């Protein structure tokens, strides 16, 4: 399977995320704040969660996924597993749209002018691929 990303898109994603890493804690806080604002029902999914730890996990997961962009044979099973696990947490297919919106907003806030239209397009493309892979594993009827 290919991820349908160009080398330029992968470079944009990797280089922009490397700029987020030094502000990962703040970025995670922005992300969850925005997510809870646009999809308030998601807050209950984290009721028993230490949000600082959750933010660390989020940033680690994104970093790991980005590190696997050139090895889809490793990335796809990881995303499928992630999607299946998140069903058990109460995540619905509709939540993925809110997560994508919150992610793009967070990147825009954290990167400022470095979040160019090309970078936004690359992140939109990669998030769509990742979310669709996770959702298909979690919610597609299995034969």
Q: Report yes or no on 109 lying in a domain.
A: yes
pLDDT (0 to 100) of residue 94: 92
Neighbour count for residue 83 (Cβ, 10 Å):
23
Q: Report yes or no on 1 lying in a domain.
A: no
Give the distance from CA 23 to its chain's centroid: 16
Neighbour count for residue 43 (Cβ, 10 Å):
12
Residue 110 structural domain: 7-137
Instruction: Look at residues 68, 72, 70, 55 and name the one whose alpha carbon lies nearest to residue 106.
Output: 55
pLDDT (0 to 100) of residue 142: 56
As to burial, measured by CB atoms within 10 angstroms (0-12 exposed, 13-18 middle, 19+ buried), residue 53 is exposed
Q: Report yes or no on 113 lying in a domain.
A: yes
Instruction: Supply 1's token pair.
Output: 């399977």
Q: Report yes or no on 83 lying in a domain.
A: yes
List all residues 6 or more positions away from 141 whose beta carbon is below 8 Å from its beta carbon. Answer: none
> Which domain CATH number covers 113?
1.10.490.10
Q: Report yes or no on 21 lying in a domain.
A: yes
pLDDT (0 to 100) of residue 32: 98
DSSP assignment, residue 140? S
Q: Report yes or no on 117 lying in a domain.
A: yes
33-52 pLDDT, tens digit each? 999 999 999 999 999 999 99
Q: Report yes or no on 142 lying in a domain.
A: no
Number of domains in the chain: 1
**pTM (predicted TM-score):** 0.93
Question: Which residues, given as ranges, of the chain have pLDDT below 70?
Answer: 1-2, 141-143
pLDDT (0 to 100) of residue 3: 78
Q: Report yes or no on 2 lying in a domain.
A: no
Instruction: Supply 118's token pair.
Output: 């090309």
Measure the CA angle with vertex 127, ends 49 and 63; round to 5°: 60
Task: Confirm if 107 and 123 have CB atoms less than 8 A apart.
Answer: yes
């Amino acid at each position: 399977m290919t991820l349908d990303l160009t080398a330029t898109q992968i470079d944009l994603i990797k280089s922009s995320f490397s700029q987020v890493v030094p502000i990962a804690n703040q970025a995670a806080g922005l992300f969850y704040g925005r997510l809870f604002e646009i999809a308030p029902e998601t807050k209950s999914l984290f009721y028993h969660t230490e949000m600082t730890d959750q933010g660390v996990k989020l940033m680690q997961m994104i970093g790991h996924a980005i590190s696997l962009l050139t090895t889809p044979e490793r990335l796809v099973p990881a995303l499928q597993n992630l999607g299946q696990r998140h069903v058990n947490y109460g995540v619905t297919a509709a939540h993925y749209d809110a997560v994508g919106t919150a992610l793009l907003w967070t990147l825009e806030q954290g990167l400022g002018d470095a979040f160019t239209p090309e970078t936004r397009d690359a992140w939109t493309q990669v998030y769509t691929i990742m979310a669709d892979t996770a959702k298909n594993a979690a919610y597609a009827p299995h034969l």
